[in-house]
């Protein structure tokens, strides 16, 4: 349209419920160098590498979404920083920040490779990342992640902050594992000037054990915290599903992501694409759209753009997660490491 910047060529993506889709999460690999107990089994089978989109294809795919109005891009996985040459993709995507088409390029990481990559991520335009940290106890850390090393993760966090990247911590609330540590995690994050977001376990993928044993409703966590801390609801939003409070004693922000106790779908502006080019319009539903075929069918983007528009027209109103003892099976067979958190 005349007068519009060159990078906004298409109509924005609006779903059937009037929600503008402005946030894309891209899983660049389903592989990981950790095996978190709530996320995967120890002997997880990964996708054959030949099925993965190349970094060039991921770049083209992201560019198509940005052209259609996506303003915020989060790179995730699996562990995104274990994908070979991943910094190439960050640098390539960083060009959309320079044109102004993209407002933010972020990353969710377990921080195992962060010490190595922090300054290059900053150079590519990354200013904010989410780091998953479920416990501050090195022995528990090893048992939750199976393969992780807490000291290495903390060095990665230090490196990110030293490079000028703001860190937000994510912790999954786990019954019998970190439920007695939530206040320590809050004080740790807030002591560094970082936000902390608590997440409920979601029933995604078989993990080789009963999820009801791990599930800790955040309504319980919050009620327990209220015995010791003053929490004040605030309207702060980051574009994601977290609802925030300020903790009076620390002055820091605490987020709650409660897919099971509170349905956060009404304001969902997100879609997710896997490393094989499957677009999931909802994390909690099976419906998907294959973008790899239109991507590979032609070097022009006409088919790809049309496939994206068609997929968004199928975005459902919300998910129907349940974790209960009768169903046992995960609500959604896909692991979080496939769709990306």
Q: Is 240 in the site for ligand SAM (CB under 6 A)?
A: no
Which one of ligand SAM, ligand SF4, none is in contact with 35 (Cβ closer than 5 to 8 A by kind)? ligand SF4
Residue from 15, 24, 28, 35 that binds ligand SF4 (CB under 6 A)?
35
Which one of ligand SAM, ligand SF4, none is in contact with 106 (Cβ closer than 5 to 8 A by kind)? none
> What three-state secondary structure class fits 245?
strand
CB 97 → ligand SF4: shortest distance, Å? Answer: 25
Q: Is 254 in the site for ligand SF4 (CB under 6 A)?
A: no
- Give the nearer residue to ligand SAM in terms of CB position, either 78 or 125: 78
Residue from 29, 106, 110, 278 that binds ligand SAM (CB under 6 A)?
110
Please give the residues from 39 up to 78 whose contact with ligand SF4 meets the rule CB under 6 A: 39-40, 77-78
Q: Is 96 in the site for ligand SF4 (CB under 6 A)?
A: no
Distance CA 105, CA 315 (A): 23
Sign, CA torsion 145/147/149/153: negative
Strands (DSSP E) along the chain, which ranges?
A: 23-27, 72-76, 104-109, 128-132, 166-172, 196-199, 231-234, 243-247, 253-257, 270-273, 278-280, 288-290
- Taking the CA atoms of the chain, what radius of gyration do you get in angstroms? 19
Mark the segment that binds ligand SAM (CB under 6 A) among 160-168, 176-184, 197-205, 240-248. 197-205
In the sheet with 288-290, reading across from the earlier edge strand, the strands are: 231-234, 243-247, 253-257, 196-199, 166-172, 128-132, 104-109, 72-76, 23-27, 270-273, 278-280, 288-290
Q: Is 337 in the site for ligand SAM (CB under 6 A)?
A: yes
Place of tokens 């779908």: 265
Q: Is 30 in the site for ligand SAM (CB under 6 A)?
A: no
Site mask for ligand SF4 (CB under 6 A), range 99-138, x = bound: -----------x---------------------x------
Tokens representing 113 are 């490779």
Place of tokens 């109509």: 11
- Give the nearer residue to ligand SAM in terms of CB position, either 116 or 248: 116
Task: With beta carbons less than 8 A apart as the criterion, state whether 268 and 241 touch.
Answer: yes
Binding stretches for ligand SAM (CB under 6 A): 32, 38-39, 76-77, 79, 108-110, 132, 170, 172, 199, 201-202, 204, 336-337, 340-341
């Amino acid at each position: 349209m005349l007068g519009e910047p060159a990078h906004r060529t298409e109509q924005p993506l609006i779903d059937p419920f009037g929600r503008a889709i402005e946030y894309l999460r891209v899983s660049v690999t389903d592989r990981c160098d950790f095996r978190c107990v709530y996320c995967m089994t120890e002997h997880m089978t990964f996708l054959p590498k030949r099925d993965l989109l190349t970094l060039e294809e991921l770049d083209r795919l992201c560019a198509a979404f940005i052209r259609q109005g996506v303003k915020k891009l989060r790179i995730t996985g699996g562990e995104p920083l274990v994908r070979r040459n991943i910094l190439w993709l960050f640098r390539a995507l960083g060009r959309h920040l320079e044109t102004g088409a993209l407002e933010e390029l972020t990353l969710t990481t377990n921080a195992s490779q962060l010490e190595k990559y922090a300054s290059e991520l900053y150079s590519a335009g990354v200013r904010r990342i989410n780091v998953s940290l479920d416990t501050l106890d090195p022995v528990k850390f090893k048992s939750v992640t199976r393969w992780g090393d807490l000291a290495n993760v903390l060095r990665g966090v230090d490196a990110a902050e030293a490079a000028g990247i703001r860190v937000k911590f994510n912790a999954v609330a786990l019954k019998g594992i970190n439920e007695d540590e939530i206040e320590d995690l809050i004080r740790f994050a807030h002591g560094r000037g970082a936000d902390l977001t608590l997440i409920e376990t979601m029933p995604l993928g078989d993990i080789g054990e009963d999820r009801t044993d791990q599930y800790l409703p955040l309504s319980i966590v919050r009620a327990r915290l209220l015995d010791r801390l003053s929490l004040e609801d605030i309207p702060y939003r980051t574009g994601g599903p977290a609802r925030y409070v300020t903790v009076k004693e620390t002055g820091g922000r605490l987020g709650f992501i409660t897919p099971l106790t509170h349905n956060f779908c009404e304001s969902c502006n997100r879609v997710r694409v896997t490393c094989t080019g499957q677009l999931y319009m909802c994390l909690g539903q099976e419906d998907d759209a294959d973008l790899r075929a239109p991507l590979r069918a032609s070097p022009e983007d006409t088919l790809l753009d049309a496939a994206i528009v068609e997929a968004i027209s199928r975005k459902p109103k919300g998910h129907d997660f349940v974790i209960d003892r009768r169903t046992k099976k995960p609500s959604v067979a896909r692991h979080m490491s496939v769709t990306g958190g």
